[in-house]
Amino acid sequence: MNDIRPFCGWRYNPERVDLAQVVAPPYDVVSQKEQEAFLQKSPYNVFHLELGRVRETDTSEENRYTRAQRLWQTWQKQGILIKDPQPALYLYNLKFSWQNKPLVRRGLIALVRLAPWETRRIRPHEKTFDRVTQDRLRLLKATKAQFSQIFCLYHDLSLETLTIPAQKGQKLYEITDDVGFSHQLYKVTHPEVIQEVRRFFDQPLYIADGHHRYTTALSYMREMEQKYGSDPKRCFHYVMMYLCPFEEPGLLVLPTHRVLKLGLPLAKIKELLAPWGSFEEMRDFSLAHLHNLLNEIQVGEIILVNQGKYQRFKLHPSGLEQLTKTLPTPLQKLPVALFTGLLQQVFGQDEAQLKEGGRLFYTPWIKDIAQKAQGDWVGFLLPSTPVKALEEVADAGLVMPHKSTFFFPKILTGTVFFELRPDMVPPC
């Protein structure tokens, strides 16, 4: 069903740069302040390519995209970047800890042939926004390169797609990020191993992170087909992905919590919620207890936070029924779908409007909620969305509410790049 290919990746030359200084998180999870910090970290930091500064003097001829294009070419010529001579699959091992437990998440970086949404070969679970897609498309057209991967999920009960390449992988480098997590990259060039891995992908792929990047790649493919045609398949018919099995033990999905400014005191918020469920004031609200509680609470439960106080709210069966009766079945057990429904029906508020008005703050981190939920800002801690729900929603052709999932940790931008030579056919 899906065509998986090795490729000749461009990488930073570890003899020319300090790898820890040039990689960065995905562009869409950093603040403007964090973006600037990474740009200042090194003149070769990947954000100079992926997320350069916007300047007041920018024009159609000189802007963040044209600057990225010049740097991309200059770094190749100067040997800051080097290209692998043989097509490879790249094995990416991420060693991290969560709640004091050591974990490892493994995945493969490969090219995947683009497929329009209607083919159902690649399945989304989020909406995309044209403004973001246009920004990414301008960068792609200027540089003809992909600097970060789309994160996709697939099924491999025995995890052979990870264990087989590991036996033949050549370690390229290991990078310790700013929080102490280890990112290891291996390349696998053995033809028989690559062919063995490719046969597993007669199945759909599910986008976890990177919906805008995938939409961008589709748009670029359509433009290039007008010039080069649709056959034979060329490099622009492929996109770089990080592929991870649903069954990988280290696959972790965190909830995205909310802090809202509803224009109501906490007492009024509780009064309006009272007909829908019951409250229980919490006495132990240590970070460890809150993490454990969020792992235990059921669909239809929320923890409200304000002024350092925590209260557990649980929907009555009648309230749960009222919220779910208008939802498609795959959405009925999604914590964020129930929360956004409650927000609409109880308070007459819409998340998108609250966000536009600067009255909504998203974060997966409980400590940020505690700091922000002061005065008339109220925090709402939600249970996590099961990864199985992502598959069910995508299979049904539906999308989740905004910010339903947060895959943790994020893979680094800057480990390996894909150059789209429009005139070339794979291997690229």
Q: What's the length of the chain?
A: 428
Query: What is the pLDDT at residue 290?
Result: 80
| Structure-block tokens of residue 48 | 């100079």
Arithmetic mean of pLDDT over the chain: 94
| Structure-block tokens of residue 413 | 């931008």
Residue 218: other Cβ atoms inside 10 A: 18
Q: State the Cα torsion 158-160-161-165 to the nearest 10°.
A: 150
Nearest in space to 376 (alpha carbons), one of 267, 251, 218, 219:
267
Does the pLDDT of residue 284 top 80, yes or no?
Answer: no
State the pLDDT confidence band at 266, using cuts at 50, 70 and 90: confident
Q: Distance between alpha carbon 66 and the CA centroid of its chain, in Å?
A: 26
Does the pLDDT of residue 285 top 80, yes or no?
Answer: no
Q: What would the mean pLDDT of 193-213 be, rounded to a whole number? A: 96
State the pLDDT confidence band at 294, using cuts at 50, 70 and 90: confident
Query: What is the pLDDT at residue 298?
Result: 83
Q: Identify the three-state secondary structure at position 398.
A: coil
Query: What is the pLDDT at residue 411?
Result: 97
With a pLDDT cut of 90, the percent of the chain lying above it is 85
Q: State the Cα torsion 87-89-93-94 to the nearest 10°.
A: 90
Distances (CA, A) of 129 to 136, 211, 352: 11, 10, 12
Biggest CA–CA distance in the chain, Å, is 67
Per residue in 8-56, pLDDT tens? 999 999 999 999 999 999 999 999 999 999 999 999 999 999 999 999 9
Does the pLDDT of residue 215 top 90, yes or no?
Answer: yes
Does the pLDDT of residue 57 top 80, yes or no?
Answer: yes
Of 69-73, 147-151, 386-390, the range with the lowest mean pLDDT is 386-390
What is the DSSP annotation of 276-326? GEEEEE-S---HHHHHHHHHHPPTTEEEEEETTEEEEEEE-HHHHHHHHTT
Per residue in 225-260, pLDDT tens? 999 999 999 999 999 999 999 999 999 999 999 999
With a pLDDT cut of 70, the percent of the chain lying above it is 100
Per residue in 121-160, pLDDT tens? 999 999 888 888 899 999 999 999 999 999 999 999 999 9
Per residue in 350-366, pLDDT tens? 998 999 899 999 999 99
Report d(CA 232, CA 342) in Å as an integer: 51
Q: Are 238 and 111 in contact (CB under 8 A)?
A: yes
Per residue in 99-125, pLDDT tens? 889 999 999 999 999 999 999 999 999
